[in-house]
């Protein structure tokens, strides 16, 4: 396929203003953030079965973990966009890191007091910090280079986000689920199993905040950068492809998080794999590892093929794989669902980049709107949890299928700025 260039609100003169050496250094530094927030986000997939057992929760109640975590995107994204526009990308990153560190530290009293509401509150604070990081880092990556290679560049940095999600199940399975399996019978002991991992994360985030406050990153404006094809007046909402892209982000994050959240429960079903929870947790790495591999491959492929069509193809294959997992049993159902991660690989960065095309002066607001749509990770898993309580974990997978069908529409049609 011939490549269709993706035009963002960064023109050639702006790209040239940032020396290549400085851009590479900045991208390297930002990559560490993508790794870390991927790692933290994936730990929710370990927390869900653990806290479900500790507090004897239904699937709907357990999905409140994702509801609070991704609900923070809905509450914080637009204020974060204004904050970043006012203070700049780098200060936004520092504020996000400190906030996330406080959220991780709050897991200690939540575990000591055996309080599920306190865990949810800690997750809300943690996710607020991650949201500020997302609003700061994603558009900064798109602006550190030529506009036509923005999807490829963002996909490459997102690959390291997936590296974090691939490593996290081993970390969480070992320090949380395995510890709980090895004889912690009391609720207090089980609740306290999360304290050490999250204290380590709190310290890491605090150190990174200090480092990013000290680093000299290239000056990339977060304010008004007007593109040739964008009106300076009005708002980002006037662009239909941005609105459709926000719905696509909602569907993608919702589907990806819902599948990841239910993987341990799905693999524990007798007619699927019949695994113990701590054993099933390690298989989450295959799901997120597929996303990592797919992003490295996609970063190269999207320099040569149409990003929208590639997005649509991956969404169709993902829908078919989830359908197989819904109607079959045993290894076929198990590996069909795990392979969806490979299809998810390029979705977020591609949707994000295509949605910001030709927004010009409204790019900062557009980024906030797209991050707002990450609330899909709160809503879709909760709906799937409610359905799972009614019809079971396997049949509840019909919800992600609907999400992927819509993403296919956006990839083939909805991403065009003239739609």
Q: What is the pLDDT of residue 225?
A: 45
Predicted TM-score (pTM) of this structure = 0.78
Burial of 376 (0-12, 13-18, 19+ CB in 10 A): buried
Q: What is the pLDDT of residue 391?
A: 94
Are the CB atoms for 127 and 73 separated by under 8 Å?
A: yes
Task: Name the CATH superfamily for 19-217+232-414.
Answer: MFS general substrate transporter like domains (1.20.1250.20)
pLDDT tens digits along 333-360: 999 999 999 999 889 888 988 888 888 7
pLDDT tens digits along 91-129: 888 999 999 999 999 999 998 898 999 999 999 999 999
State how far the Cα of 367 lies from the Cα of 236, in Å rounded to an integer.
9
Q: What is the pLDDT of residue 146?
A: 65
CA 355 to chain centroid = 16
Q: What is the pLDDT of residue 226?
A: 41
- Of 269, 404, 412, 390, the C-alpha closest to 323 is 404
State how far the Cα of 351 lies from the Cα of 165, in Å rounded to an integer.
20
- State the DSSP code for 174: I
Q: Residues of the chain whose pLDDT is less than 50?
A: 1-19, 183-189, 222-231
């Amino acid at each position: 396929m011939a490549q269709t260039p993706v035009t963002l609100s960064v023109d050639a003169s702006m790209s040239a203003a940032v020396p290549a050496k400085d851009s590479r250094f900045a991208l390297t530094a930002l990559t560490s953030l993508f790794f870390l927030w991927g790692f933290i986000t994936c730990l929710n997939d370990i927390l869900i079965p653990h806290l479900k057992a500790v507090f004897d929760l239904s699937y709907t109640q357990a999905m409140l973990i994702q509801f609070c975590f991704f609900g923070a995107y809905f509450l914080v994204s637009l204020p974060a966009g204004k904050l970043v526009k006012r203070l700049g990308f780098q200060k936004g990153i520092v504020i996000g890191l400190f906030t996330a560190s406080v959220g991780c530290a709050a897991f200690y009293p939540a575990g000591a007091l055996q309080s599920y509401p306190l865990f949810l509150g800690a997750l809300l604070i943690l996710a607020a910090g991650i949201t500020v990081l997302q609003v700061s880092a994603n558009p900064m990556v798109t602006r550190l280079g030529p506009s036509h290679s923005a999807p490829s560049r963002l996909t490459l940095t997102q690959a390291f986000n997936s590296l974090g999600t691939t490593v996290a199940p081993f970390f969480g399975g070992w320090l949380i689920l395995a510890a709980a399996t090895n004889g912690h019978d009391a609720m207090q002991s089980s609740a306290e199993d999360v304290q050490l991992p999250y204290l380590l994360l709190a310290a890491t985030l605090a150190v990174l905040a200090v480092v990013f406050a000290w680093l000299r990153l290239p000056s990339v404006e977060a304010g008004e950068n007007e593109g040739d094809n964008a009106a300076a007046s009005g708002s980002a909402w006037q662009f239909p492809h941005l609105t459709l892209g926000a719905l696509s982000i909602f569907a993608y994050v919702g589907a990806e998080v819902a599948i990841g959240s239910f993987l341990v429960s799905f693999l524990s079903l007798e007619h699927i794999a019949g695994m113990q929870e701590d054993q099933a947790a390690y298989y989450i790495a295959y799901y997120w590892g597929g996303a990592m591999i797919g992003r490295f491959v996609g970063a190269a492929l999207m320099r040569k093929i149409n990003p929208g069509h590639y997005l649509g193809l991956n969404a169709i294959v993902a829908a078919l794989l989830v359908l197989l997992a819904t109607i079959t049993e045993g290894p076929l159902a198990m590996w069909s669902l795990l392979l969806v991660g490979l299809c998810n690989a390029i979705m977020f960065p591609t949707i994000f980049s295509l949605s910001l095309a030709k927004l010009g002066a409204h790019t900062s607001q557009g980024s906030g709107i797209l991050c707002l749509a990450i609330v899909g990770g709160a809503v879709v898993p909760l709906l799937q949890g409610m359905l799972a309580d009614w019809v079971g974990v396997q049949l509840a997978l019909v919800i992600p299928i609907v999400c992927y069908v819509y993403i296919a529409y956006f990839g083939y049609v909805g991403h065009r700025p003239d739609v």
